Amino acid sequence: AVTVVDNLSTGHRMQVNPGARWVQLDLLAGDLEDTFAQGGFDIVYHLAAQTDVMMSVAAPDEDAEINVVGGIRLLELCRKYHVRKVIYSSSSAVFGEPDYLPIDEEHPIRPLCPYAASKHAFEHYLYLYGQLHGLNYTVLRYANAYGPRQDPRHEGGVVAIFAYRMLTG
C-alpha cells in the first residue's frame, strides 16, 4: 500500500490518489515517526522540499532547514525503521550553468543559489547513510518536471506556466 505524507504547503488533498493512505503533516513537525512505526515502508520516495529559488535567496536558513535538516530527519527514520531504499527528487539546478548539453553525471557541480546548494548537500547525506548504514538510494536530478494537475502559479513549473499562458491567450 502507498502512504502519502504532505503538509499541503503547495499541494492539494484532492490530488492524492484515493487508494493511498493519507497523512497530513510537515517533515519538520517531528511527528513523522508515528507514520513510520505504522507503515512498514520498503521504499521512501522523498519529494518534500522548499523549491522556490527566490525564497532560498531571501531566507537560505529556512531553505536549508527544510531541504537538508528535514531530509536528515527522514533518513534517520528510514534507518531506524529499516527502509530498503530512498528515491530522492533532487534538481538539475545543482549543476549551475551547463558547460555542455546534454548534462551527464560527470558534469561539474556548481550551484548558483541556496536551493541548488541545499539539494546537493542532501545528496551527500544520502551517500553517507549508504556508507554508514547500508541505505540504498537513487538520486533523480529533474529539470522542469511537469504533469497533470500542476499548478501554473509556481516558478518551478515553467512548462505549466507556458501552457497556461497559451491557453489563456
Q: What is the mean pLDDT of residues 64-77?
A: 97
Q: Read off the pLDDT band of 2 (50, 70, 90).
A: very high
pLDDT (0 to 100) of residue 12:
84
The pLDDT mean for the chain works out to 92
Q: What is the mean pLDDT of residues 98-109?
A: 96
> Which pairing describes strands 85-89 and 136-140: parallel, antiparallel, or unpaired?
parallel
pLDDT (0 to 100) of residue 150:
73
The total of other beta-carbon atoms located within 10 Å of residue 34's CB is: 10
Q: What is the pLDDT of residues 34-70, one digit of tens each?
A: 999 998 999 999 999 998 899 999 999 999 999 999 9
Instruction: Check residue 40 and report its DSSP letter.
Output: -
Above pLDDT 70, what percent of the chain?
Answer: 96
Query: How far is the C-alpha of 5 from the C-alpha of 66, rounded, in Å?
Result: 15
Q: Read off the pLDDT band of 162 (50, 70, 90).
A: confident
Q: What is the pLDDT of residues 105-151, one digit of tens each?
A: 999 999 999 999 999 999 999 999 999 999 999 999 988 777 777 76
User: Is there a catalytic annotation at residue 115?
Assistant: yes
pLDDT (0 to 100) of residue 155:
62
* Catalytic residue (one of 45, 81, 100, 115): 115
pLDDT of 152 over the 70 cut = no
pLDDT of 153 over the 90 cut = no
Above pLDDT 90, what percent of the chain?
Answer: 73
Total residue count of the chain as it appears in this document: 169
pLDDT (0 to 100) of residue 130:
98
CA distances to 65, 145, 149, 168 from 165, in Å:
34, 17, 15, 5
